[in-house]
Amino acid sequence: MSMEFLLATGVGMVTATGIYLMLRGRSFPVVLGLSLFGYAVNVFIFLMGRLWSNAAPVLVGEGPLADPLPQALVLTAIVIGFATTGFVVELALRSRHESGSDQVDGHEPTGPRA
Amino acid sequence: MTGSLLDFWLQHAPVLSVVLPMLTAVVLLLIGDSGGMAGQGGAHDDAPLRWRRRIALLSTALGLLMAAGLVRHAADGDLLVYRLGEWPAPFGIVMVVDRLSALMVLLTYLVALPVLWYAASGWDSRGRYFHAIFQFQLMGLSGAFLTGDLFNLFVFFEVLLIASYVLLVHGQGRERFRMGVHYVVLNLVASGLFLIGLSLVYAATGTLNMADVAQRVAVLQGDQQVFAQAAALVLLVVFGLKAAMLPLYFWLPGTYAAASAPVAALFAIMTKVGVYSIVRVHWQVLGGEAVADWLLPLALATSALGVLGALAAHSLGRLVAYLTVSSVGTILAGVGLFTSETLSAALYYTLHSTIVIAGLFLLVELIAAQRGECGDSLRPAHAVREPVLLGVMLLFGAASAAGLPPLPGFLGKLMVLQASGGLAAQAWVWGVVLGVGFLTIVGLARAGVIVFWHVQPVVDDGAPGSSANLRAPVWAFMSLTVALAVLAAPVKRYTDAAAAQLSVDADYVRAVLGADAPPSTRPYDGQRAAPAQEKQP
């Protein structure tokens, strides 16, 4: 029970933090938010293979085996997430270079909350 | 020689449609790209650029031939199943060619070839690696349409998205980078949700092979069934974003209007990837029950709001982009009614709207190029140099997009109306489809009047008209539209058969998993199977 609770709340909190950061106006927090969201998703995939304790991760010896497929899925997701994060960082840099502003919308906000 | 080549193709057809653009892209990368010197008159760069164009066009034409071959093969109703690495079905990755996926691959290439032709007249030299990225995009599109595995669908989505990120900012400029950041961030979030949906499917069924999932979703009980429903709804959000369904379409008009003309025209197929995924995953694999209440109302609202956006658009590019949104709404309405007949009508309408919208995006640039600094914005400017030619082209595209007879837009809408006859939602569908058709005419007429009639006298600056190389692809799209109207009967027979094929799960499952699918032990329980069934490493 405690392990399930810990992981479920952990994934939930990281997701919430990620979404909060993604809703910020500057591209740096947005990229951080995307990364955090990506981490939460990766752990979530892993959990969907159920929690295993005392189980071998690969085919060795006797006894039960942890589900190996989610590990492979997570690995793929990590690689793709890494590449796309790299791309979005580069794109945000170029966008800042072109528009002269770090804002996602390409210009500094105007009005009382600026 | 020819016979053995044909045998080889038939044996490996599904994977060849993915491998060909990939290898072409690698070759194009190896040739290299010194970065648009030809566009600025650097004569020393001409030869490699010409070679890149030739290779890309040749490979895309070959891809078109192979796609036509796939359709011809699929038309008989046989499923072509390709097991990568000969791993047996639920364990390894399979690619499956049925009528629907063959048709979508053909549509991809029918759009890609004229677009590439158009781009080869100059756009490709305004940035680096256009042709290589274009081929990667084709690889992702073909793969997404042909795969029979849900996780593989995600991977091909990523391939086509990464290519589309780069294509979107091709030509650069402030507006493209700004929209590019929005587009990339939105799609990364959608990818995260895609993974969440997939892992929920895996948690409920213990498999990601589409045929296997379809078989198991039908027998799920209790909690597991709730998992599958949650997965279906999460995936609807993901595919709804790609397809630009309400309330997830707001990114599309700005993005498509900011993209360069050939890229926007190619992106006409990208929304259809979302539609295809909804058909494949929600219709066939997960069953429509979970999303049936949502899809139809959202689709009709998308269609209505899309056309209102088109009425309010302040530039031709945004107008066409909003028409994309509106047409996706009409297509999804056909899908959302969840009958074979409406799906068939929606598929026919998909073919038509993709081709017409791709043609319109190219045409918009031809018109904008002759309006001086006014570009494609909808305000009075000096007249275009070729009012008759461009006006007739726009009239033709507009009439087809709005659904006037005898063009295929009319046939497609008529099919949707006919197929929805007698269903509970008939009044809504008829009202929205007909109303949207009327408003589309109004919006396009307004645009045509501003561009062609509400003009100052033409400034004769001696500049030439549009070049034949740029006009030809637009003509090609229009000929395709006419062909779609002339060949409506056989095409409709094919889409009827495709829709019917999707409704019979048993054949699909038998073809992919084999007639005597072994009893499986999933969802995974950690216990080893008896030695006889153990998978060899």
pLDDT in tens, A24-68: 988 899 999 999 999 999 999 988 888 877 777 777 767 777 888
CB–CB of B528/B534 below 8 Å? yes
| Locus of tokens 């036509």 | B68
Contact A49 B202 (CB under 8 A): yes
Give the ipTM of the model, two decimals please: 0.93
- Packing angle of the helix pair B316-336, B292-312 (nearest 10 deg): 160
At B85 the pLDDT is 86
With 0-12 / 13-18 / 19 or more C-beta atoms within 10 angstroms meaning exposed / middle / buried, residue B145 is buried
At B243 the pLDDT is 92
Contact B196 A106 (CB under 8 A): no
The answer to whether residue B41 scores a pLDDT higher than 70 is no
The answer to whether residue B536 scores a pLDDT higher than 50 is no
CB–CB of B365/B471 below 8 Å? no
Comparing CA positions, the residue from B55, B273, B279 lying closest to residue B160 is B273
Segment B164-182 shows an average pLDDT of 88
At A102 the pLDDT is 83
Nearest-angstrom CA–CA distance, B429 and B437: 12
Complete DSSP assignment for A38-78: HHHHHHHHHHTT---SS-BSSS-SSS-B--SHHHHHHHHHH
Measured between beta carbons, the chain B residues lying within 8 angstroms of A49 are 202-203, 524
> Which residue of A42, A52, A83 is in closest CB contact with B526?
A52
At B43 the pLDDT is 46
Q: Which structure tokens are listed for B30?
A: 């190896």
At B532 the pLDDT is 44
**pLDDT of B186-204, one tens digit each?**
999 999 999 999 999 998 8
Contact B189 A34 (CB under 8 A): yes
What percent of chain A has pLDDT above 70?
A: 95
Contact B185 A73 (CB under 8 A): no
The answer to whether residue B436 scores a pLDDT higher than 70 is yes
| Region of poorest pLDDT, from B18-32, B111-125, B398-412 | B398-412
CB–CB of B129/B169 below 8 Å? no
Q: For an interface test with A, give the residue of B174, B188, B520 to mutate (most A CBs within 10 A).
A: B188
Residue B282: DSSP 8-state: I
A4: number of CA atoms within 13 Å, CB side?
Answer: 6
3-class SS of residue B456: strand
The answer to whether residue B42 scores a pLDDT higher than 80 is no
Nearest-angstrom CA–CA distance, B323 and B357: 8
Amino acid at A79: V
3-class SS of residue B356: helix
3-class SS of residue B176: helix
In Å, how far are B167, B306, B375, B403, B511 from B313, measured between CA atoms? Answer: 24, 10, 14, 20, 48
Q: Which residues contact B519 (CB under 8 A, 6 or more apart)?
A: none
Strand pairing category for B80-83 and B94-97:
antiparallel
| Region of poorest pLDDT, from B245-259, B332-346, B382-396 | B382-396
- Packing angle of the helix pair B316-336, B340-369 (nearest 10 deg): 180
* Chain CA centroid to CA B92, Å: 27
**pLDDT of B401-411, one tens digit each?**
888 888 888 88
Q: How confident is the model at residue B67 (pLDDT cuts 50, 70, 90)?
A: very high
Say which residue, B50 or B135, is predicted with more confidence. B135
- Give me the long-range contacts of B349-352 (CB less than 8 A, separation at least 24): B349/B409, B349/B412, B349/B413, B349/B415, B349/B416, B350/B107, B350/B272, B350/B275, B351/B103, B351/B107, B351/B408, B351/B484, B351/B491, B352/B400, B352/B408, B352/B409, B352/B411, B352/B412, B352/B481, B352/B484
Contact A27 B198 (CB under 8 A): no
Segment B18-28 shows an average pLDDT of 94
**pLDDT of A9-24, one tens digit each?**
999 999 999 999 999 9
Contact A84 B191 (CB under 8 A): yes
Amino acid at B404: L
**Domain ranges for chain B:** 13-33+47-514
CB–CB of A57/A66 below 8 Å? yes
At B458 the pLDDT is 67
> Which residue of A44, A66, A95 is in closest CB contact with B178?
A95
Q: How confident is the model at residue B460 (pLDDT cuts 50, 70, 90)?
A: low
Nearest-angstrom CA–CA distance, B84 and B93: 6
Nearest-angstrom CA–CA distance, A84 and A93: 14
Nearest-angstrom CA–CA distance, B198 and B231: 7
Contact B173 A98 (CB under 8 A): yes
Contact A91 B177 (CB under 8 A): yes
- With CA atoms as reference, the chain B residue closest to A49 would be B203
In Å, how far are A47, B210, B238 from B226, measured between CA atoms? Answer: 17, 19, 19
Instruction: State the smallest CA–CA distance between residue B140 and chain A in angstroms.
Output: 14
At B406 the pLDDT is 80
Q: For an interface test with A, give the residue of B185, B227, B521, B522 to mutate (most A CBs within 10 A).
A: B185
- Taking any CB pair shorter than 8 Å as contact, residues of chain A touching chain B are 22, 27, 30, 34, 37-38, 41-42, 44-45, 47-50, 52, 55, 59, 64-67, 69-70, 73, 76-77, 80-81, 83-85, 87-88, 91-92, 94-95, 98-99, 104-106
Q: For an interface test with B, give the residue of A4, A24, A69 to mutate (most B CBs within 10 A).
A: A69
Contact A69 B524 (CB under 8 A): yes
Query: How many other C-beta atoms can be found within 10 angstroms of the C-beta atom of residue A63?
Result: 11
The answer to whether residue B39 scores a pLDDT higher than 90 is no
Q: Which residues contact B7 (CB under 8 A, 6 or more apart)?
A: none
- With CA atoms as reference, the chain A residue closest to B536 would be A59
Contact A80 B524 (CB under 8 A): no
- What global pTM score does this model have? 0.92
Helices (H) and strands (E) in chain A, counts: 3, 0
Contact A22 B196 (CB under 8 A): no
Sign of the four-CA dihedral B145, B147, B150, B154: negative
Measured between beta carbons, the chain B residues lying within 8 angstroms of A34 are 185, 188-189
